[in-house]
Structure 1
């Protein structure tokens, strides 16, 4: 019989990079084992939620012992493909896009921005923070040439759907959307939208109403 791949809840999947980051912190501090309570205190996530998340992946710990930090790091590194770098394209080099280029993810993660596009760039392109930036007329050609499947979108909202359509047409698999536009894409394409204005309004609501959500 073929092995059945467990279905991991989306909320759990979103927390995996956080677990990996905090486990790295514990490892860097010389800690060899950690309990769900200690992770809970550090991450401000309920311990029961942590144990439930880990249970989706089998027996990661032992009762009365907790979790071996190095073993967990190996497991989450593999689960998150931390040993394999992912090339990313950035579309839209305004204030937010420029900040992404200056930071770039390769410093702390397994992803790196390798090319960017912006309509204000001359046809021959230019370099920003050592990253080549081209006019959007070159977008399809360069993304296919570089084999990129993940794009960060920081364009004006009115341009977002057109760009998404062009990306879908060349088979890009995922968009991290920083525009307020709700994009319509094929079922096989993944969209993660981060609307900064909505996040800010949510935070304001929580502050005014003294609402705390340990699962965020």
Structure 2
């Protein structure tokens, strides 16, 4: 089994779930082996970038043969801890939050939303898409009770930092932030911010200027 040969760049780390998803597609189609060129064509990522990404993990392929699909799939499954389920909390059940609850992640991999919080929820709690939803007053109690380390944040911008501060105090390790606020958190927490308006503006810019960004 290949091992990590150096500290993995952040850009590479962000592509690991994509590699895993496309390798699943190849495996489901009965593909036994692939080349970096074939993977490049499917993923629309430069083949040199793929080879460079894979080089961080040692010898994943063989010269003249390419990559064994099942070996790669097994490797990335372990790298992404796909055999271990991760429970996630959602804070904010508005339009976007509701969409997350209806989709939930367990359909496609090992991550699932198990509890949500919204100020419109009654004190006794309610259920949305089979997920229990409680009032934000119970955030600390429920998250600690359920041992949750990761939270999806889809709250109004004005309360985002306040919620982040509360989560930091109870030891939450990561926030997937869908608010436009750049959260201030200690080094012990990791925040990934997805600002949909900025992503849309970037897309419009790329289209108007015919910019190809194959490294995403």
Q: Please give the alpha-carbon distance, in whole angstroms, between the structure 2 residues aligned to 1:12 and 1:91.
A: 29
* Larger relative contact order (CA 8 Å, sep ≥ 6): 2
Cα deviation for residue 53 of structure 1 reads 0.3
TM-score normalized by the length of structure 1: 0.98
Per the alignment, residue 78 of structure 1 pairs with: 78
Tell me the alpha carbon deviations over residues 171-200 of structure 1, each in whole angstroms, 9 at most, x when there is no partner. Answer: 000000000000000111000000000000
Tell me the alpha carbon deviations over residues 133-181 of structure 1, each in whole angstroms, 9 at most, x when there is no partner. Answer: 0000000000000000000000001110000000000000000000000
Per the alignment, residue 36 of structure 1 pairs with: 36
User: Number of residues paired by the alignment?
Assistant: 214
Where does structure 1 lack aligned partners over 5 or more consecutive residues? none
1:108-123 equivalences in 2 (<5 Å)? 108-123=108-123
Q: Please give the alpha-carbon distance, in whole angstroms, between the structure 2 residues aligned to 1:97 and 1:213.
A: 29
Q: Please give the alpha-carbon distance, in whole angstroms, between the structure 2 residues aligned to 1:5 and 1:31.
A: 28
Q: Please give the alpha-carbon distance, in whole angstroms, between the structure 2 residues aligned to 1:139 and 1:67.
A: 46
Query: In 2 relative to 1, CA 212–113 (structure 1 residues): closer, same or farther, beyond 3 Å?
Result: same
Q: Please give the alpha-carbon distance, in whole angstroms, between the structure 2 residues aligned to 1:73 and 1:207.
A: 34
Q: Please give the alpha-carbon distance, in whole angstroms, between the structure 1 residues aligned to 2:64 and 2:200.
A: 41
Query: In 2 relative to 1, CA 71–177 (structure 1 residues): closer, same or farther, beyond 3 Å?
Result: same
Q: Return structure 1 stretches of 4+ with deviation > 2 angstroms.
A: 3-6
SS in 1 for 2:89: strand
Query: In 2 relative to 1, CA 4–80 (structure 1 residues): closer, same or farther, beyond 3 Å?
Result: closer
Tell me the alpha carbon deviations over residues 32-81 of structure 1, each in whole angstroms, 9 at most, x when there is no partner. Answer: 00000000000000000000000000000001100000000100000000
Cα deviation for residue 100 of structure 1 reads 0.1
Q: Please give the alpha-carbon distance, in whole angstroms, between the structure 2 residues aligned to 1:204 and 1:161.
A: 29
Cα deviation for residue 5 of structure 1 reads 6.7
Per the alignment, residue 197 of structure 1 pairs with: 197
Per the alignment, residue 94 of structure 2 pairs with: 94
- What's the RMSD between the two structures over aligned residues? 1.1
Q: Please give the alpha-carbon distance, in whole angstroms, between the structure 2 residues aligned to 1:4 and 1:27.
A: 24
| Aligned 8 A contact 2:118 2:135 in 1 | yes
Per the alignment, residue 7 of structure 2 pairs with: 7
